Structure 1
Amino acid sequence: MSIIGLRACGGEEELMSPIVVIGAGLGGLAAAVRLAAAGREVTVVEAREVPGGCCGTASVGDYRFDTGPSVLTMPDVLAEVFAAAGEEMADVLPLRRLDPYYRLRYHDGSHLDIVPGEEAMIEQVRRLCGGAEADRYRRFRATIGGLFACEWPSFIDRDMTRLRSLVQPGVLARLAALGGFRRLDRLVRSHLTDARLIKAHTFQSLYVGLSPQRALGVYAVIAHMDTVGGVFFPRHGGMHAIPRAMAAVAERAGARIRYGVRAVEVETGSHGVSAVRLDTGERLAARHAVVACDLPRAHAGLLPAGARDWRLRRPRYSPSCLVLHFGLDRRLAGQAHHTLHFGRGWSSTFSALNAGRPQPDPSLLVTYPGSDAGAAPPGHATLTVLEPTANLSGADGWDGLTSRLEERLLGRLAGLGYGDLTSALRLTVDPPAWARLGHSAGTPFAMDHRFTQTAWFRPAGAARRVPGLHFAGMYTAPGVGVPPVLISGKLAAERILETSR
C-alpha cells in the first residue's frame, strides 16, 4: 500500500509512529525494507558492524568466507523483498543458477549430480539407478511437487500467528493423501527403492534439525526446493552480498541502520511497546518493535515479561555443526559448488546426534565457491566443510572435542581427494563458537521442526499481551532457512501495516 493510501485510510498518526527493528539479519532487513517502502519511520539496530546476522562474513588474511548459509533456494522470495521497494533484483543482486545444484558422492564411489531440468535429472537417475528407478523418480518428483503446491500458500507463505490458520480441512486432507503426515523416510521409500536416491531426497531433513525417521513427510518440500526449484548464488560477493544488498535497499527506501549498537530493553507502556533502549543509554521511541535476533536470549532480558511464550518453555534445539573454512593456494579443477559426501553409516549417524554425541561416520557438505573471484587471490580459492554435530544442550562437554574432530575431518578430506590441508590457512567454527556469536545451545539452526515446534506451535510472530511487539527470524514461523526467514520478516511487516488499514 502506498503512503497516500495509508493517509487516505486515516492512518496518518500510525504512519508516523516510529518502528525499531532489532537485528539486521535477513528477517529484520526483510521487514525493514517493506516498512520503509510503505513510508514508515524505521530504525534498524545491529550489534555487529555489518548486516547479515547468521548470513555473515569473515576474513582471514587475503581470504573471505561466508560464515552462514551456503544454499540459496526460492530466489523469487528474495526478489519480492526488493520489489516491495520498487527495485529489481537483477539490478541490485544478480544471481546465477548453479549447475549442478549438488554433486552427491557415495561411499561406493558412485555419484549423482542434481541438475536443472526434469528430463535431464531423470537421465541422471537412469544413469545411476536404472530405467525402472527413473520411472519411479518421475512419479516421486510429481508427488513432492504436489506437496509443495499444497504447503507453500497454506502454511509456509502465511501468517500462522492465529490457531485458526492451522485449521484448513481441505488442505490437511490433501497433504494426508500425498503422504505428508507419514515419516519422511517412509514416504520416500514408498516411491523409491535405490538407497542412494533415497539419501538424496531425505538428507534435507537435517535442515530442520531432525532425522528422516523423525521428520514428517511434509518436509519433502525441502527436497523439492533444492532439487527441482534449484540452488542459486550471487554473481559477486558471495552469500553475504544478500544482506548487503538488502541493507542498501532498505536505506534507499528511507530506513536508518545503526551498526555497532545493541538493544538492551524493549520498554512498554499502557498501549504496548513504547521504546527500545540501547547500550549507549539512548532511548528510541517506538510504537512497534520487530525482534529479529536469537529469541531465547531475547527473553533473558531484552523483552518484557508479558512477551513470554509458552512455546519456548522447553525448546528442543536442532543439532549444530563444526565448520572448517580453508584458504587454498590452488584451484580445484572440476569441483562442484556444493558436494555432499555421504558416510557409510546412515541411521547410526542420526542416532548419535540425537544422543548428543559426534557422528561416527558423518556426511560432509563441501562448498567450493569458485565463481566468487573476490574471495581469494588470483589462482587461489576458498573451501568450506560442514560436519553436523551435537549442540551444547545435549553434549557432556566440549573440552578437547573440537581438536579431535578437526583431526578426523582433515584425515577424511585427504582420503576424499582434497589433499593434505593441515597446513592450509584455516578458520574453525564449533558449537562453543556459535554460542559466543549469540546462538542459543551453540547451534545456528535454532529450534528443530518436530510437529510441536512447527507452524502455529512455533513461537508466535506477535506477542499477544504486548501490542506492537513482533518477531522475525528462525525461531518463529515459517522457521529455518533463507526463504522462511525472509517470509517471517514479510509477515511481521504486514501485521504492522495492517494496523493502518
Structure 2
Amino acid sequence: MTIESAAIIGGGLSGLAAGLHLAREGVQVDVFEARDDVGGCCSTANVGGYTFNEGAMFLAVPQLLDSVYARLGLDRAALLPLKRIEVPQASVLDSGTRVVLGPDRSLRIEGADEAARTLAANAELARFLDRWRPVLRVFADDLLTRPMSLTHVLASAWRYLPQLRGTLAQELTRAFDDVDVRAAMSAAALYTGIAPERTPIFQIVGIVSMFEDGVHLPERGMGAIADGLAQALRDAGGRIHLGTTVERIELQGGRARALRIAGQEERAFDAVVSTVGGMNTFERLLDPGQVPTAMRRRARKAPLSHRALGVQLGLRNRLAPEAFCINHVPAMEQQHRMHRPLPADSAWLSYTVPSTVLPQLAPEGGSVVELYAGVDPDLPMDAWDEDTTRRAADEAIARLARHETLDIAQARIVTPREHARRLHLYEGALYGLSPAATPQQQFPHRTPIDGLYLAGQTTYPGFGVATSLWSGVFAGDEALGRG
C-alpha cells in the first residue's frame, strides 16, 4: 500500500529521523510531541544560564552518525560540527591509583610503580584494540546500519561469533593483568547500569570506539542534534506539533488508521510510527483487546534498564578536571554496587563536567556537573516525594563534594518518577529495555498490526544517539514497504 500521510508519535531523535525520511519520499508527515520542545532524551534545558542535558551526554562511534546523516540526505559536518573530547575518562581506585584513558589509543597509570605498569598496560591495550578493531568496524559499517537479520549477521560476522561469547568482565580479565586497569575499563561502561559480570560482551565495542574514534560533543551542545533535524523536517514539508499528547492509536479493520489526540478531533493517517517504546505503545496507546498476544507478552516480560537519580549542578566556580568523565570506583567485581543506593560515607561515584569541553554551557567562570546516582529498583514511583528526593540528592552531592569544590548556583534533580512522567520513559527506566536485551526481546519495526510501526530505543539498533536515528530510518523503510 502506498502511503500519503504518516503520524509520528514522539519528537525524539528516532521520530525526527523517521519523519524526515518519510517526508523526503513525499509523505505528508505530522510529528506529535507531548513536551514543548523536540529531542526527548537528547535535548537540553537551560536553567538560570546553565545548560543541562536531558539524557544523552556525548556522542560515540562518529562514523555511524555520519552514515545515518548521509542516509537522511544531510551534511553532518555542516549541520552538526563536533568537538572531540580529548581525555574521555579518568578513574580513581580505592587504593589511590589513578588510571587515565586516552588520548591517542593510550592509557596512563598514576600510583605505585606507575612507569612500568603504564608500559605493560599500553602493550596489553594495543593487543586488545587489534583484537576488537575488526569487530567494531563490522558493527559500525554494516550490522548497525541494517535491520536485524540473523542471516545477515551470520554472513557478515561469522568469523567473530566465537569472540562475541561471554561477558565484559571475562574479556577484560583476559586482556588486562592489572586489576586497576580492569576497573578503569569496566567503569567506562557504568552508563549501562549492568554489572560487568552480566554485561554482554558486544558492549565492548563502545569502549573500543572510545579509543579508536574518540567521543564527541556537538559544538552547540547535545540539543543541537534534534534542533537541526527538526528544521530539516520542516524544510521537507513535515509538521511538528509541540505540547500535543496522543491518547490512543485507533484501529479500523485491524489496521492503524487514526490517532485520538488530547483536546482535538480524531486525526486519520495512512501509517503510524510510534517512538515512545514498545511497552508504552502496546500497554497504553492501544485498546487491550486489540493487542496481539505476542506483543502483549513481549511488553509484559520486557527486561527493563536501570533507574537512576539525575543530579545536575550549575556552579559559580570553574572546575577543570583532566577528563570529561571522572570515576571514583572500586574494583571491577564490586562496581555493580554503584547501581544501587550507596552508604552515606561512600566516596564512589561517576560524574561528567561537560563545561570542560564546552565552557559556554555555563556563565563565565562557572561549571556544569552531571551525575546519575543509583536508586533502589524496588522503590515505587510514588515514593519519590520531596523528602525522599532531597535526601537522596543531598547524599549524592555530599559524595561529590568530597572530590570537588562546589559553589552551587543551580541544582536540578530528576527523579525516576520525573523520568517517567516528563520524559515518558516507561517505569522510569533510562533506556526502556536493558542494554542486555536480546534481539528476541526487542520490538520489531513492523508490528503485527497493519499500518503500525515502531522506532526508538526498544527496537534494534535503538540504544544510543546514532542508533536511535537509524531505528527511525528502518521504521520509515518498513512504512514505505522497503523493509
- 8 Å CA contact 1:150, 1:174 repeated in 2: no
Instruction: Decide whether the 8 Å contact of 2:7 with 2:273 is kept in 1.
Output: yes
Q: Deviation digits for residues 49-91 of structure 1, max 9, x if unmatched?
A: 1101112322322322122111211233333444345331222
- The residue number in structure 1 matching 2:167 is 183
Paired position in structure 1 for 2:209: 225
Distance 2:116 2:322 in 1: 18
Residue 431, structure 1, aligned to residue 419, structure 2 = no
Indicate if the aligned counterparts of 1:147 and 1:218 stay in contact, CA closer than 8 A.
no
CA contact (8 A) 2:324 2:357 kept: no
In the alignment, the residues of structure 1 paired with residue 335 and residue 469 of structure 2 have an alpha-carbon distance, to the nearest angstrom, of 31
Specify the SS of the correspondent of 1:215: coil
* Corresponding letter in the other structure for 1:431: P
Say which SS state the counterpart of residue 23 (structure 2) adopts.
helix
Structure 1 residues 47-446: aligned runs within 5 Å: 47-118=34-105, 121=106, 127=115, 129-152=117-140, 155-160=143-148, 165=150, 168-169=153-154, 173-178=158-163, 180-236=164-220, 238-270=221-253, 272-304=255-287, 305-306=290-291, 308-332=295-319, 334-336=320-322, 338-344=324-330, 346-351=332-337, 353=339, 357-360=340-343, 361=346, 362-391=348-377, 398=384, 400-416=387-403, 418-421=404-407, 423-437=408-422, 438-446=424-432
Indicate the larger mover: 314-323 or 380-389. Answer: 380-389
Letter paired with 2:159: R
Do the aligned residues in 2 keep the contact of 1:100 with 1:114 (CA within 8 Å)?
yes
- Relative to 1, partners in 2 of residues 1:460 and 1:207: Cα closer, same or farther, differing over 3 Å? farther
TM-score (norm 2): 0.88
How far did 1:45 drift? Answer: 0.7
| CA distance 1:402–1:144, shift in 2 (3 Å) | farther
Work out the CA distance in 1 between the residues paired with 2:399 and 2:98.
Answer: 17
For the residue of structure 1 that corresponds to 2:37, the secondary structure is: coil
Runs (4 or more) in structure 1 with deviation over 6 Å come to 123-126, 393-396
Closer/same/farther in 2, CA of residues 377 and 167 from structure 1, 3 Å limit: closer
Local SS of the residue matching 1:460 = coil
- Bigger Cα displacement from structure 2, 340-349 vs 30-39: 340-349
Q: 1:127 to 1:249 in 2, by over 3 A?
A: farther
How far residue 409 of structure 1 moved from its aligned partner, in angstroms, is 2.1
Task: Assess if the C-alpha contact under 8 Å between 2:23 and 2:237 holds in 1.
Answer: yes
Who is 1:10 aligned against? none
Contact 2:14/2:469, CA 8 A, preserved across alignment: yes
Q: Percent of aligned pairs with the same residue?
A: 25
Distance 2:31 2:391 in 1: 41
In the alignment, is residue 458 of structure 1 matched against residue 442 of structure 2? yes
Counterpart-to-counterpart distance in 2, 1:365 and 1:123: 20
Give the secondary structure class of the aligned counterpart of 2:329.
coil
CA distance in 1: counterparts of 2:349 and 2:371, whole angstroms: 10
Q: Provide structure 2 residue ranges, at least 5 long, that are not aligned to the other structure.
A: none
Matching residue's letter, 2:137: A
Could you say what secondary structure the match of 1:48 adopts? coil
Aligned counterparts of 1:402 and 1:116: Cα–Cα separation in 2: 37
Question: What residue in structure 2 maps to residue 41 of structure 1?
Answer: 28
Displacement of 1:105 in angstroms is: 3.2
| Shift in Å, 1:25 | 0.3
Preserved contact between residue 349 and residue 399 of structure 2 (Cα < 8 Å): no
Contact kept? 1:159, 1:165, Cα under 8 Å: no
**Structure 2 CA distance for aligned equivalents of residues 91 and 170 of structure 1:** 35
Give the SS at the match of 2:450. Answer: coil
Relative distance call for 1:66 and 1:123 in structure 2 (3 A) is closer
* Alpha-carbon RMSD: 2.8
Relative distance call for 1:67 and 1:443 in structure 2 (3 A) is same
Q: Does the C-alpha gap of structure 1 residues 75 and 196 become closer, same or farther in structure 2, counting only changes over 3 Å? A: same
**Which residue of 6, 20, 24 corresponds with 2:11?**
24
- Kindly indicate whether the alpha-carbon contact (under 8 Å) linking 1:324 and 1:385 is maintained by their aligned counterparts in 2: yes
The structure-2 alpha-carbon separation of the partners of 1:73 and 1:24, relative to structure 1 and needing over 3 Å to count, comes to: same
SS of 2:7's partner is strand
2:2 aligned counterpart, secondary structure: helix
Measure the CA separation in 1 of the matches of 2:137 and 2:15. Answer: 27
* TM-score, reference length from structure 1: 0.85
User: How far apart are the structure 2 equivalents of 1:370 and 1:102?
Assistant: 13
Give the partner amino acid of 2:147.
D
Q: Does the residue aligned with 1:130 lie in a helix, a strand or coil?
A: helix
Q: 1:142 to 1:211 in 2, by over 3 A?
A: same
CA offset at residue 378 of structure 1? 2.4
Q: Distance in 1 between matches of 2:452 and 2:87?
A: 42
Deviation for aligned residue 1:129: 2.7
Q: Find out whether 1:477 has 2:460 as its counterpart.
A: yes
Q: Distance in 1 between matches of 2:444 and 2:138?
A: 22
**Is the alpha carbon distance of 1:248 and 1:105 closer, same or farther for their aligned partners in structure 2, counting shifts above 3 Å?**
farther
Structure 1 residues 219 and 366, CA gap change in structure 2 (3 angstroms)? same
Between the aligned partners of 2:144 and 2:246, the Cα distance in structure 1 is 29
**Preserved contact between residue 391 and residue 441 of structure 1 (Cα < 8 Å):** no
- 2:2 pairs, out of 4, 14, 18, with 14
Task: For residue 243 of structure 1, report the CA deviation from its aligned partner.
Answer: 0.7
The structure-2 alpha-carbon separation of the partners of 1:392 and 1:431, relative to structure 1 and needing over 3 Å to count, comes to farther
Kindly indicate whether the alpha-carbon contact (under 8 Å) linking 1:207 and 1:480 is maintained by their aligned counterparts in 2. Answer: no
Provide the secondary structure at the position in 2 that maps to 1:112.
strand
Report if the CA contact (8 A) 2:308-2:372 is conserved. yes
1: CA distance between counterparts of 2:265 and 2:109?
59
SS of 1:485's partner is: helix
**Alpha-carbon offset, residue 154 of structure 1:** 5.8
